[in-house]
């Protein structure tokens, strides 16, 4: 059994790790470019091609919003927020 101090330290470490993972994903998804982000919806005619969101990594989607300039893929929920 873990004592309360170790359990609390473990919970803090897990929370910090999850926060760091989100920051890393956002840093990878949103490169240091000064893009004006004009999104258009792209979709597939078949089930072979599917996309995932570059921001939240959700998916697969048969349609996704893509920036015309930097080719960033975003799901609708990330686009709205």
pLDDT value, residue 53: 93
Residue 43, SS3?
A: strand
**Higher per-residue confidence, 8 vs 78:** 78
CA gap 79, 81 in Å, rounded: 6
Q: What is the pLDDT, as a whole number, of residue 34?
A: 78
Place of tokens 């959700």: 58
CATH architecture of 33-81: 2-Layer Sandwich (3.30)
Q: How far apart are CA 11 and CA 51, in angstroms?
A: 33
Q: Are 72 and 33 in contact (CB under 8 A)?
A: no
* Digit-coded pLDDT (tens) for 25-73: 444 455 556 788 899 999 888 878 889 999 999 989 999 999 999 999 9
pLDDT value for 2: 45
Report which of residues 4 and 79 the model is more confident about: 79
Q: Are 64 and 42 in contact (CB under 8 A)?
A: yes
Sequence spans of domains, the chain? 1-30, 33-81
Instruction: Write the DSSP symbol of residue 45.
Output: S
């Amino acid at each position: 059994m873990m004592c309360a101090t170790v359990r609390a330290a473990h919970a803090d470490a897990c929370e910090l790790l999850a926060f760091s993972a989100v920051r890393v994903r956002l840093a990878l998804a949103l490169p240091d470019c000064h893009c004006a982000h004009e999104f258009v919806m792209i979709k597939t005619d078949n089930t072979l091609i599917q996309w995932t969101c570059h921001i939240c990594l959700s998916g697969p989607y048969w349609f996704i919003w893509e920036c015309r300039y930097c080719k960033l893929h975003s799901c609708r929920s990330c686009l709205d927020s």
